[in-house]
């Protein structure tokens, strides 16, 4: 259930019998022809669909993340690492103060990986909290489903082109794009990243049939739900996927 559809009294009653909570992590950044909000849309949606049948609260997605390497593309919003790390720690502290002890971070953006390290340090200091980070798109079963459907699922190509991230008024072109690669050195220079990527896609086919994406999404929801339901999370948030 979405926290946006609850009041504080309902959260208090929930915490009398359960201590699980879910926080989606996203990013607002270029995704070629897809929505700039793709990462936050997918993280929140998979979290909600996974947790809702279990009655576990899902907090609003944290929309901004670490995306400085895309900052040459208008519309991208990037936080400084120290800002992001402090924000994650503050949110976890607030959830703990309310009574949440098992917190799942459902991440939708690869650049947000440092959130796992922040969560690990925070949980170790608390002692009575367990936190896991779930990178939904590369969790084992979801990645296997994507790879079996088609090779080359990557940033801003077919792998992220769900009905809810596509823009009806600005459809992606037909066909595919030659794969592009950016190095760590390139990432330090946003203008260079834009020069290499052009429209922003990492290459490959832009879209695949709806039934293919639907099958991958079903796996992603079930895999995420298994984590929320079990909640037997390792204190090390990087060893979280089933």
Say what the pLDDT of residue 183 is: 95
Q: Which fold has domain 3-229?
A: Rossmann fold (3.40.50)
Spatial contact of 181 and 204, defined as CB atoms under 8 Å apart:
no
How far apart (Å, rounded) are the C-alpha atoms in residues 50 and 227? Answer: 9
pTM equals 0.94
pLDDT tens-digit readout, 32-81? 999 999 999 999 999 999 999 999 999 999 999 999 999 999 999 999 99
Q: Are strands 176-177 and 130-135 parallel, antiparallel or unpaired?
A: unpaired
d(CA 184, CA 98) in angstroms, rounded, equals 40
Residue 151: its pLDDT value, please? 87
Structure tokens at 180: 């592009």
Residue 233's pLDDT is 59
Segments making up each domain of the chain, as ranges: 3-229
Phi-psi sector, 166: left (phi>0), alpha (psi -120 to 50), beta = beta
Q: Which pLDDT score is estimated for 142?
A: 97
- So what's the pLDDT on residue 64? 98
With a cut of 70, list the residues of the chain below it in pLDDT. 231-242
Separation between Cα atoms, residue 42 and residue 76, nearest integer Å: 17
Q: What pLDDT, on a 0 to 100 scale, did the predictor assign at position 46? A: 98
Are the C-beta atoms of 227 and 240 separated by less than 8 Å?
Answer: yes
Q: Buried b / exposed e across 36-45, counting CB within 10 Å, b at 16+? A: bbbbbbbbbb
Comparing C-alpha atoms, which of 93, 61, 105 is closest to residue 237?
105
């Amino acid at each position: 259930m979405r926290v946006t559809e609850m009041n504080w009294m309902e959260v208090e009653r929930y915490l009398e019998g359960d201590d699980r909570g879910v926080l989606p992590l996203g990013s607002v950044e270029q995704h070629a022809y897809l929505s700039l909000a793709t990462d936050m849309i997918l993280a929140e949606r998979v979290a909600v669909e996974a947790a809702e049948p279990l009655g576990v609260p899902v907090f609003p997605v944290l929309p901004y993340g670490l995306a400085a390497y895309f900052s040459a593309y208008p519309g991208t919003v990037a936080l400084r690492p120290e800002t992001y790390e402090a924000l994650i720690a503050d949110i976890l502290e607030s959830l703990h103060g309310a009574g949440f002890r098992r917190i799942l971070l459902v991440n939708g953006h690869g650049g947000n990986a440092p959130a796992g390290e922040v969560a690990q340090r925070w949980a170790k200091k608390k002692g009575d909290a367990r936190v896991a980070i779930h990178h939904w798109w590369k969790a084992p079963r979801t990645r296997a489903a994507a790879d079996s459907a088609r090779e080359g699922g990557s940033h801003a190509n077919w792998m992220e082109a769900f009905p809810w991230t596509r823009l009806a008024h600005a459809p992606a072109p037909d066909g595919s794009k030659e794969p592009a690669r950016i190095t760590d050195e390139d990432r330090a220079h946003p203008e260079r990243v834009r020069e290499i990527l052009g429209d922003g896609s990492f290459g490959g086919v832009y879209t695949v049939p709806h039934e293919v994406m639907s099958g991958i999404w079903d796996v992603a929801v079930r895999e995420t739900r298994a984590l929320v339901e079990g909640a037997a999370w390792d204190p090390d948030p990087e060893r979280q996927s089933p």
